[in-house]
Amino acid sequence: MTATQQPMAQRFVGESVKRSEDKRILTGTGNYVDDVQLPGMLHAAFLRSPFAHAHITSIDVSAARQVEGVVAVHDGASMQGLLAETAQPPGIFGPAPVKFTLLASDKVRLVGDPVAVVVATSRYIAEDALQLIDVEYDELPPIATVEHALDESRPAIFEDLGSNVVTGPRTNTHGDVDGAFARADRIVTANIKVHRHQNVPMECRGVVADFDTDSQTLTIHGSNQGVGIAKMVLTGQLGMPPDTIRVLCGDIGGSFGLKIGTGREEIATAALSKAIGRPVKWIEDRNEHLAFSGQAREETLDVEAAVTNEGDILGLKVSMIVDTGAYPGMGAMLGGMVENMMPGPYSLEGLEFTFRAVTTNKATYVAYRGPWASETFCRERIVDMVAKELGMEPLEVRRRNIAFQGDNPGKMVTGRTLKSATARESLEKIAELVDLPSFRKRQAEARQQGKHLGIGMATYIEAAPGPRADGGGGLGNEAMRMRLDDDGIVRVFTAQMPHGQSHETTLAQIAAEEFGVPMEMVKVVVGDSDQVPFGFTGGSRSATMAGGAALVNARALREKVLEETANQLEAAVEDLEIVDGKVGVRGVPAKAKALAEIATTATAAGTALEVSQAFDGGQGGWSGGTHCAIVEVDVETGLVDIERYIVVEDCGKLINPAVVDGQVRGGVAQGIGAVLLEKSAYDPDSGQFLAGTFMDYLLPTTTEVPRIETHHLETVPLDPDVNFRGVGEGGMVVSPATLCNAIEDALSPFAVKIEEQHLPPLRILELIGALDD
């Protein structure tokens, strides 16, 4: 044993440590935003447009003001007066590039657009008052589809934009596209359509804004993925100095990317509290949520694949158009993300990528778990189409095209190194688990009996956080503070804002192990803009960035504490050890001091036992994997049953295996939902929203999601210290392609080419021609 080694450090990383969150989650003692009840608190409700596109010609709130219990009513114009003069129309990550008022005042741009707000002593009364607000609308031709958006005879949703094309067309070329297409034996084409669907966390959006008139300070109880972001937005919108706003988030009932931004209603509620001088609560209801909170994924990709007769995919030409909805969100940013990831782990020689984004009268395009996912869907569907055309197994086409590793890892034609990508390994593991030849036999026999089984697989890589480029740079920084407090507790102040990811447990696992104390002596502090550094949860960054920050800070804090202890005990640092929350000289356990005592003594002497190191991602690395599904399609009803679903994934070292499995399975369930059940449907003529309740927007339940087998490769350490990589989004990124590949395989006797992602029973019967007579 060397002088600096500690005896039998307790191992937490890699164990499915029980969650600290569960003590309150399982007992109903969590603190979600709707649980916040403050003295004198009022309730807000928003009046929303029933039309997709219309001018507001008049609005009369006078009758609403008369209702007993109503404290305030504002329309779009008067709400603007409550905001700072310098307030800009809010976009998703900063000011929006077009002009609009916080509540719609001159025109409404989608069904659900808020036009007025009532504040009353109860939500019940507020909703009563809404019905007394008189609004006159002058309907405009709706922009209900991409075709409408491209039709220059239709009016622009934003006059200052001039048209409904937000971006593009712009084309980028990577590698040797002309060469790839010249050498091709054939071109395989497809028009891939991903449908509009959405995050739908079980908790809708909401906020309690509490403005204190005496101190002129605002406390926000929110449900957001980053308290610092919410604070930043509100300082700008309300014109209040940053040190007068505090944002608190307690427990959050899911988000999947939705709650990264601060909604217009949340800003309005804060402004109302400031104007009234009382706390105001706004809780979004499910109808508002489905219609307005945000939607994603409505993308169409026209693809040409340059292919050899042996199955090499030499190059791709892709033309993508995204329907970003009304009001700026992240839709316009999608092009770059999808383009950069399009090659995936394949050795493509050339990629030409054209991108356009249009605005329509639909809910704003928001980040939804793996926003770039259409690149995987598109690519993995093309691989299967190529295989089909060439009469090859899709597995073989994948084997042929996945870039090699070894000493000279490939590079994506869009520039990023494929170093650490284990797509080939995960593919081979799936092949091992599935026994393709015997499935094909069973499939053939089943077809004789009129049963239609199918198998599909899909592979992906994900920049969670992605490998550091040769020459460094590119992973960003994660801030964190860590402190040994006088009570002997190690407090971890993280910018992460967990909403199901179990950070309070996983970050404590890392910190406890590295510092050398039991888990109970570590507390992860989240959700207070007065206490935590700036940052957010998103992009599957927390495992690497926050996990790494926890590791380096715990190490630094341990050093600092041991140095302080060495001073206090007049011992040598090398002779000290931390065991069971006490620190002392090795071999003299009776004289060991509680960490609380060391801390208290240090504080009295003016020494803070605190560290604050940003982590830059280390060497980073790819996450990724391969999924495989076996399905049965009932060709008389169009219903799909998933017989088996297997995941092989690689996110490096697992911090908490049970947490990882939960993330993977939850993502796959959302993919099942996307393909079989979920659609944010709009009427293509009127722009009327058709999926405003859970009877029309269908989420998968226990009878639609099978057991999902998970296998973890935990490979390729790149970094000496931090090899945790993100896993939150992968399941959702690759599962739709996996399922669509399987369904198309099941339907091969019908010679169906599936180019879309949404395959409800009606669609399947249409595709196989069962409804033709």
Partner 1 sequence: MKPPAFDYIAAGSLDEALTALAEGGEDAKVLAGGQSLIPLLSLRLAYPSLLVDVNRVDELSTIERTNGTLRIGSMVRHRTAERSKVIADAVPLITAVMPYIGHVAIRSRGTIGGSIAHADPAAELPAVALALDATINVRSAARGERSIAAADFFDGYFTTTIEPDEIVTSIDFPVAAPGTGVAVEEVARRHGDFAMVGAVAAVGPDGTARIALINVAEKPVRATEAEAAFATGASVDDVAAAATRDLDPSGDLHASPAYRKKVAGVCVKRALAKAREGAAK
Partner 2 sequence: MNVELTVNGEARSAHDVEPRKTLADFLREDLGLTGTHLGCEHGVCGACTVIVDGDAVRSCLMLAVQANRAEIRTIEGLGTPDDMNPLQESMRDSHAFQCGFCTPGFMMQITALLEENPSPTEDEVRETLSGNICRCTGYESIINGVLKAVGA
Site string for partner 2, 86-125 (x = CB under 8 A): --------------------------------------x-
- DSSP secondary-structure letter at 89? P
User: 426-461 burial, b if ≥16 CB within 10 A, otherwise e?
Assistant: bbbbbbeebebeebeeebeeeeeeeebbbbbbbbbb
Contact residue for partner 1 among 9, 677, 713, 718 (CB under 8 A) = 677
What is the 3 state secondary structure string of 401-448?
HECCCCCCCCECCCCCECCCCCHHHHHHHHHHHHCHHHHHHHHHHHHH
| Minimum distance of partner 1 from residue 500's CB (angstroms) | 23
Closest CA to 354 of 319, 328, 383: 319
Rule CB under 8 A: say whether 665 interacts with partner 2: yes
If we measure between CA atoms, which residue out of 136, 143, 77 comes closest to residue 110? 143
37 binds partner 2 (CB under 8 A): yes
Task: Give the pair of three-digit tokens for residue 375.
Answer: 């690149």
The nearer residue to partner 1, 213 or 693, going by C-beta atoms, is: 693
User: Does 35 participate in binding partner 2 (rule CB under 8 A)?
Assistant: yes
How many whole angstroms from its chain centre is CA 545?
16
Amino acid at 550: A
Q: What is the number of other CB atoms lying within 10 angstroms of the CB of residue 396?
A: 15
Name the one range near partner 1 by CB under 8 A: 264-272, 310-318, 416-424, 765-773: 765-773
User: 765 is in the binding site of which of partner 1, partner 2, none (Cβ under 5 to 8 A by kind)?
Assistant: partner 1
Distance CA 312, CA 399 (A): 10
Distance CA 328, CA 363 (A): 10
* 8, 202, 604, 751: which one binds partner 2 (CB under 8 A): 202
- Which part of the chain contacts partner 1 (CB under 8 A), choosing from 242-250, 381-389, 418-426, 755-763? 755-763
List 62, 213, 693, 748, residue binding partner 1 (CB under 8 A): 693
- How many angstroms from the chain centroid is the CA of residue 559? 36
User: Minimum distance between the CB of residue 424 and partner 2, rounded to whole angstroms?
Assistant: 27
131 near partner 2, rule: CB under 8 A: no
> DSSP secondary structure string, 348-392?
-SEEEEEEEEE--SSPPB---SSTTTHHHHHHHHHHHHHHHHHT-
Q: Determine the Cα angle at 608 with ends 605 and 614, to 5°.
A: 165
Q: Which residue among 287, 308, 414, 531 contacts partner 1 (CB under 8 A)?
A: 287
Q: Is-contact 274 217, C-beta < 8 A?
A: no
Q: Determine, following the binding rule CB under 8 A, whether residue 653 of this chain makes contact with partner 1.
A: no
- The residue (of 82 and 133) whose beta carbon lies closer to partner 1 is 133
Cis peptide leading into residue 169 (ω within 30°): yes
Is 25 a residue that touches partner 2 (CB under 8 A)? yes
Q: Cβ(318)–Cβ(351) under 8 Å?
A: yes
User: Judged by CB under 8 A, how many residues of this single chain contact partner 1?
Assistant: 30
Q: How far is the CB of 703 from partner 1 (least distance, A)?
A: 4
Among 501, 529, 613, 741, binds partner 2 (CB under 8 A): 501
Does 520 sit near partner 2 (CB under 8 A)? no
Give CA angle at 621 (329, 401), nearest 5°.
Answer: 90
Q: Collect all residues with Cβ–Cβ distance below 8 Å to 486 and sequence separation of at least 6.
A: 596, 599, 600, 603
Pairing outcome for strands 313-323 and 350-358: parallel
Instruction: Indicate whether 681 belongs to the interface with partner 1 (CB under 8 A).
Output: yes
Nearest distance from C-beta of residue 107 to partner 1, angstroms: 25
Q: Closest approach of Cβ 530 to partner 2, in Å? A: 24
Q: How far apart are CB 772 and partner 1 at their closest, in Å?
A: 9
Indicate if the alpha-carbon torsion angle 656, 653, 257, 552 is positive or negative.
positive
Query: Binding to partner 2 by residue 126, rule CB under 8 A?
Result: no
Residue 761 interacts with partner 1 (CB under 8 A): yes or no: yes
**Comparison of 604 and 695: residue with beta carbon closer to partner 2:** 695
Q: Does position 752 bind partner 1 by CB under 8 A?
A: no
Residue 691 touching partner 1 (CB under 8 A): yes
Task: Assess 698 for contact with partner 1 (CB under 8 A).
Answer: yes
DSSP 293: I
Given candidates 435, 696, 709, 769, which one binds partner 1 under the rule CB under 8 A?
696
Contact 295, 194 (CB under 8 A): no
Site string for partner 2, 263-282 (x = CB under 8 A): --------------------
Which CB sits closer to partner 1, 29 or 637? 637
List strands edge to edge, sheet with 245-249: 70-75, 114-120, 42-48, 280-283, 206-212, 217-222, 245-249
Residue 463's Cβ-count burial label (10 Å; 0-12, 13-18, 19+) is: buried
| Smallest separation (angstroms) from partner 1 to the CB of 133 | 14
Contacts to partner 2 from residues 677-696, by CB under 8 A: 693-695
666 binds, among partner 1, partner 2, none (CB under 5 to 8 A by kind): partner 2
Taking CB under 8 A as the binding criterion, the range among 34-42, 332-340, 391-399, 552-560 that sits at the site for partner 2 is 34-42
Residue 41 binds partner 1, judged by CB under 8 A: no
Nearest to 454 by CA among 633, 284, 668: 633
Are 357 and 335 in contact by the 8 Å Cβ rule? The answer is yes
Looking at residue 724, what DSSP letter applies?
B
> Which span sits near partner 2 by CB under 8 A: 23-31, 53-61, 330-338, 464-472?
23-31
Binder of residue 681, out of partner 1, partner 2, none (CB less than 5 to 8 A by kind): partner 1
3-state secondary structure of 182: helix
Spatial contact of 759 and 642, defined as CB atoms under 8 Å apart: no
Q: Applying CB under 8 A, does 636 fall inside the site for partner 1?
A: yes
Shorter beta-carbon distance to partner 2: residue 482 or 668: 668
In the list 22, 60, 139, 285, the residue contacting partner 1 (rule: CB under 8 A) is 285
List binders of partner 2 among 243-262 (CB under 8 A): 251-254, 256
Interface positions with partner 2 (CB under 8 A): 16, 18-19, 21-30, 32, 34-35, 37, 124, 200-203, 251-254, 256, 283, 285-286, 499-502, 658-659, 661-662, 665-670, 693-695, 699, 701-703, 705, 707-708
Interface positions with partner 1 (CB under 8 A): 123-124, 127-128, 131, 285-287, 636-639, 677, 681, 690-691, 693, 695-696, 698, 700-701, 703-704, 760-762, 765, 770-771
